[in-house]
């Protein structure tokens, strides 16, 4: 099979051995894969415990073409998405030590075929195209956990989704709109803000403009919850827009660590800083159910052909996307 193999810092489309399903496993022919920033961090050497060579990719939509045991034959021919959790463990709130994310060190989805455990298969939501369904797994689950379990976002919650152009953030935005929250966004791009307003955002601010977020918060009584993946020196500005007892939920640190954090503002206003990572298998199921219930259509930035997959990574690196970057595998 063809696979995109990462060696030190270069990718090569290579012919590698097609894996064979072992006990309790299925072979999936991958139609579409999606990128996550994790893949780009690994490419850049900025991720923990990198093992190379590696076939990256945590998301896929494809068709089950073989299973190891006859009693799993009912999966054959089904279109599926794959739960990217490997060994989350039994605790709903945090992952066990052995936890891994699909794609490095295990083989990822930027390949024509993948073998996964049967319990990682999930029927593709019928209302979605394959390329839309491929966008769901990692980013959808991360957004779900941050928004609902950590942020407790519900109807009428004032929630700010920062950097809404990102793959996870656009899901947090769509999910929050679906449940009837009052949704505000930030982005570096006016076109993204305008599009979010068309999709139901109450207002938006460009985070590169001084005081834009502060003014938006002031005009709307502040935020109950902020969902963020940038952190860095922007954190104090965001925290200052929370109402008393507000929650700052973060699942990434794209801008790095803050040089200083306004601890007084945090304790005086009874604010909560809540870290969030991926989600349990239950979160994955609940996220898919939520998508089916509200017929969530992921925002797709662009679909790249498999032989242009490196250009897909470059697009993510440049940060010009709005939504998920997809690779058409076969
Ligand atoms: N902990 C977890 O389980 C988990 C899971 C998924 C992702 N993550 C992390 O979360 C981050 C985002 O991941 P992703 O896959 O969604 O990446 P992505 O699709 O590449 O999105 C990155 C987005 O970050 C936004 N951004 C950049 N600088 C910003 C700033 N100063 N303030 C606010 N937003 C800013 C940009 O939004 P605009 O385009 O709107 O400006 C950009 O589109 C990464 O750091 C990733 O490693 C963590």
Mean pLDDT of 286-301: 98
47 CA to centre of ligand 1 in angstroms: 15
**Is the peptide bond between 105 and the residue preceding it cis, with omega within 30 degrees of 0?**
yes
Give the pLDDT mean for 148-166.
Answer: 98
Locate 158 and state its tokens.
């004032």
Q: Which superfamily does 2-136+298-328 belong to?
A: Medium-chain alcohol dehydrogenases, catalytic domain (3.90.180.10)
Asked if pLDDT for residue 148 goes beyond 90, the answer is yes
Pick the CATH number of 140-275 from 3.40.190.10, 3.30.70.330, 1.20.140.10, 3.40.50.720: 3.40.50.720
Q: pLDDT per residue over 38-82, tens digit each?
A: 999 999 999 999 999 999 999 999 999 999 999 999 999 999 999
Q: What is the mean pLDDT of residues 223-249?
A: 98
Per the prediction, the chain carries an average pLDDT of 97
Q: Residue ranges per domain, the chain?
A: 2-136+298-328, 140-275
pLDDT average, residue stretch 266-277 = 98
The pLDDT of residue 138 is 98
188 ligand 1 Cβ < 6 A: yes
* pLDDT exceeds cutoff 90 at 9: no
Residue 91: which residues within 8 A CB-CB, separation 6 or more? 280
284: tokens are 């994955």
Instruction: Identify the sign of the CA torsion 85, 90, 93, 95.
Output: negative
Q: What is the pLDDT of residue 298?
A: 98
Pocket test for ligand 1, best of 102, 201, 252 (most atoms within 8 A of CB): 252
pLDDT of residue 49: 95
pLDDT at position 8 is: 85
Question: What 3-state class would DSSP assign to 324?
Answer: strand
- Residue 206 Cβ inside 6 Å of ligand 1? The answer reads no
Please tell me if the CB atom of residue 137 comes closer than 6 angstroms to any atom of ligand 1: no
């Amino acid at each position: 099979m063809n696979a995109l193999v990462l060696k030190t810092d270069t990718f090569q489309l290579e012919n590698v051995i097609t894996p064979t399903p072992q006990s309790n496993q299925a072979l999936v022919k991958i139609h579409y894969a999606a990128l996550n920033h994790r893949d780009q961090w690994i490419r850049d050497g900025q991720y923990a415990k990198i093992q190379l060579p590696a076939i990256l990719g945590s998301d896929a939509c494809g068709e089950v073409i073989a299973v190891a045991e006859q009693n799993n034959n009912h999966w054959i021919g089904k279109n599926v998405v794959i739960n990217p959790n490997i060994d989350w463990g039994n605790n709903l709130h945090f992952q066990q030590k052995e936890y891994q994310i699909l794609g490095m060190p295990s083989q990822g989805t930027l390949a024509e075929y993948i073998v996964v455990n049967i319990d990682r298969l999930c029927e593709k939501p019928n209302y979605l195209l394959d390329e839309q369904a491929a966008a769901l797994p990692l980013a959808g689950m991360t957004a779900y956990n941050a928004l609902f379990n950590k942020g407790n976002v519900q109807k009428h919650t004032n929630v700010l989704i920062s950097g809404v152009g990102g793959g996870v953030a656009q899901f947090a935005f769509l999910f929050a709109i679906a449940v009837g929250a009052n949704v505000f966004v930030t982005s570096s791009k006016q076109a993204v803000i305008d599009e979010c307003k068309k999709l139901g955002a109450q207002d938006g601010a460009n985070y590169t403009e001084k005081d834009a977020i502060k003014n938006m918060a002031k005009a709307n009584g502040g935020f109950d919850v902020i969902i963020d993946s940038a952190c860095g020196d922007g954190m104090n500005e965001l925290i200052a827009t929370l109402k008393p007892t507000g929650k700052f939920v973060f699942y990434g640190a794209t801008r790095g660590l803050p040089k200083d954090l306004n601890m007084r503002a945090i304790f005086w206003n009874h604010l909560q800083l809540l870290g969030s990572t991926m989600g349990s298998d239950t979160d994955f199921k609940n996220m898919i159910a939520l998508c089916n219930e509200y017929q969530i259509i992921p925002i797709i930035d662009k679909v790249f052909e498999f032989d242009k997959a490196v250009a897909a990574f470059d697009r993510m690196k440049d940060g010009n996307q709005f939504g998920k970057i997809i690779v058409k595998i076969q």
